[in-house]
């Protein structure tokens, strides 16, 4: 888990990278940018806000032959070895990005390369190299006094509330390709940023396993539990699955299945489903791992716990107390109306 509260920008270099395919060129600053209190505060919020709001999906720098052939790995390693080389190596990073900017969809933009200190990663203090890119320009209005009137001047600039692309490369696990976080607000060219520029693979850590196992459960609920049972049981299965993850520190598959499967006949169905679909989530051989609480919290926010009925009525289940849905909600069939119904028991209505 990452904490950027005390992070400081020690060095920052700013360059402009165009689209090579469109012959737009590249502009490399001769000197690093000199920060003051105002620009430091604005840039820290601009750079770090997406990482506070986004799921922590970690990557590692890689290469199909050897990590030494990953150009970015060699550049950031040189910076971590000697921070005095930050600016010169920031030019190499900008050049590397420029060489990958050869698809017509890729937009030109400013590239900021920062050396960061004071980051807390999994409760350990570490340094990092931040690489950020602003692409989309927005119109804004400036006003200028002209004699007795105010004139409007239309200018273009970047929206500092929305970073287009960025990554943090932490000075940990060098032998495995460092630990990397990436954000990308513009999904049309993700391959260029992740694969061509960074050259990363997903890091199969506990966060990755927790998140992907819950995704597998969610699709199992939709593909198997729903057709075999009903919508109520689909929602209840995911309630039990998420709560099992939330109340345990470590995951063990047999205990999980015995705990969450209301219908034991679905256990072999789940094992078969995992064998078939597991490779999609890179968890086909995963049955034991430490549970990442942040991944559970993120999953809980995304999983729907609502039954939508064709009579324009919704029944919302409680993720925290799924036993209420099992004890106080009954499903049945009305012969006279030829319709299904849900019978809900309660003592009194709660005030909203």
Residue 224: inside a domain, yes or no?
Answer: yes
Which structural domain range is residue 298 located in?
Answer: 218-344
Same domain for 299 and 194: no
Say what the pLDDT of residue 333 is: 84
Q: Is residue 351 part of a domain?
A: no
Of 203, 234, 269, the one marking the end of a domain is 203
User: Alpha-carbon distance 202 to 181, whole Å?
Assistant: 10
184 and 330 together in one domain = no
User: In this structure, are 163 and 18 located in the same domain?
Assistant: yes
Residue 261 lies in a domain: yes
Q: Give yes or no: residues 154 and 294 share one domain.
A: no
DSSP 19: -
Q: Could you tell me if 31 and 140 lie in one domain?
A: yes
| Residue 59 pLDDT | 93
Does residue 19 fall inside a structural domain?
yes
Per-residue pLDDT of the chain (352 residues; tens, 9 = 90+): 789 999 999 999 999 999 988 889 999 999 999 999 999 999 999 999 999 877 778 999 998 888 999 999 999 999 999 999 999 999 999 999 999 988 888 889 999 999 999 999 988 999 999 999 998 888 888 888 888 888 888 888 888 888 999 999 999 999 999 999 999 887 766 688 999 999 999 888 898 999 999 999 999 999 999 888 888 888 888 888 998 999 999 999 999 999 999 888 899 999 999 999 988 888 888 899 999 888 888 888 777 777 788 888 887 776 566 566 667 887 888 888 888 888 888 888 877 6
Alpha helix positions (H), 133-286? 190-191, 206-220, 226-228, 231-247, 253-260, 266-281
Q: What are 165's strand-pairing partners?
A: 133, 184
- How far is the C-alpha of 285 from the C-alpha of 220, rounded, in Å? 17
Residues 239 and 294 in one domain: yes
Q: pTM (2 decimals)?
A: 0.77
Tokens of 345: 């028991």
d(CA 325, CA 307) in angstroms, rounded, equals 12
Q: Are residues 11 and 109 in the same domain?
A: yes
Asked if residue 256 and residue 132 are part of one domain, the reply reads no
294 with 186, same domain?
no
Total domain count, the chain = 2
Query: How many residues belong to the chain?
Result: 352
Which of 149, 175, 203 is the C-terminal boundary of a domain? Answer: 203
User: How far is the CA of 298 from the CAs of 176, 182, 304, in angstroms?
Assistant: 26, 17, 12
Same domain, 60 and 186: yes
Domain for residue 350, yes or no?
Answer: no
State residue 106's pLDDT score.
87
Same domain, 184 and 227: no
> What is residue 137's predicted lDDT score, i.e. its pLDDT?
84
CA atoms within 13 A on the CB side of 132: 25
Single out the residue in 151, 171, 203 at which a domain terminates: 203
How many CA atoms within 13 Å lie on the side-chain side of 99? 11
Domain assignment present for residue 67? The answer is yes
In a domain, 349, yes or no: no
Domain assignment of residue 98, yes or no: yes
Structure tokens at 313: 């009525």
Q: Which of 76, 57, 64, 58 is nearest to 174 (CA)?
A: 76
Asked if 267 and 197 sit in the same domain, the reply is no
């Amino acid at each position: 888990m990452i904490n950027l509260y005390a992070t400081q920008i020690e060095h920052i270099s700013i360059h402009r990278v165009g689209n090579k395919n469109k012959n737009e060129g590249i502009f490399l600053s001769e000197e690093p940018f000199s920060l003051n209190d105002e620009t430091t505060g604005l840039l820290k919020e601009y750079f770090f806000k997406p990482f506070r709001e986004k799921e922590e999906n970690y990557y590692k720098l890689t290469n199909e032959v050897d990590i030494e052939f990953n150009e970015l790995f060699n550049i950031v390693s040189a910076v971590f070895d000697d921070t005095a080389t930050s600016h010169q190596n920031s030019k190499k990073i900008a050049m590397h990005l420029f060489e990958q900017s050869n698809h017509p969809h890729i937009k030109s933009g400013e590239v900021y390369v920062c050396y960061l200190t004071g980051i807390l990663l999994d409760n350990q203090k570490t340094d990092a190299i931040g690489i950020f890119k602003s692409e989309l320009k927005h119109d804004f209005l400036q006003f200028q006094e002209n004699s007795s009137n105010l004139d409007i001047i239309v200018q273009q600039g970047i929206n500092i509330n929305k970073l287009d692309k960025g990554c943090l490369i932490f000075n940990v696990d060098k032998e495995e390709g460092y630990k990397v976080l990436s954000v990308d607000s513009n999904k049309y060219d993700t391959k260029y940023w992740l694969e061509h520029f960074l050259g990363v693979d997903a890091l199969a850590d506990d966060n990755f396993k927790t998140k992907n196992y819950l995704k597998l459960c969610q699709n199992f609920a939709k593909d198997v539990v729903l057709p075999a049972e009903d919508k109520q049981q689909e929602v209840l299965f995911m309630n039990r699955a998420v709560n099992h993850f939330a109340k345990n520190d470590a995951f063990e598959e047999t205990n999980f299945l015995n705990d969450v499967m209301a219908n034991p006949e679905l256990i072999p169905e789940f094992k078969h489903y995992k064998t078939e679909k597991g490779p999609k989530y890179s968890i086909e051989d995963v049955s034991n791992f430490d549970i990442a609480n942040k991944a559970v919290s993120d999953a809980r926010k995304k999983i729907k716990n609502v039954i939508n009925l064709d009579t324009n009525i919704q029944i919302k289940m409680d993720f925290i107390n799924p036993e209420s849905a099992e004890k106080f909600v009954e499903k049945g069939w009305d012969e006279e109306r030829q319709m299904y119904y849900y019978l809900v028991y309660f003592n009194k209505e709660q005030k909203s």
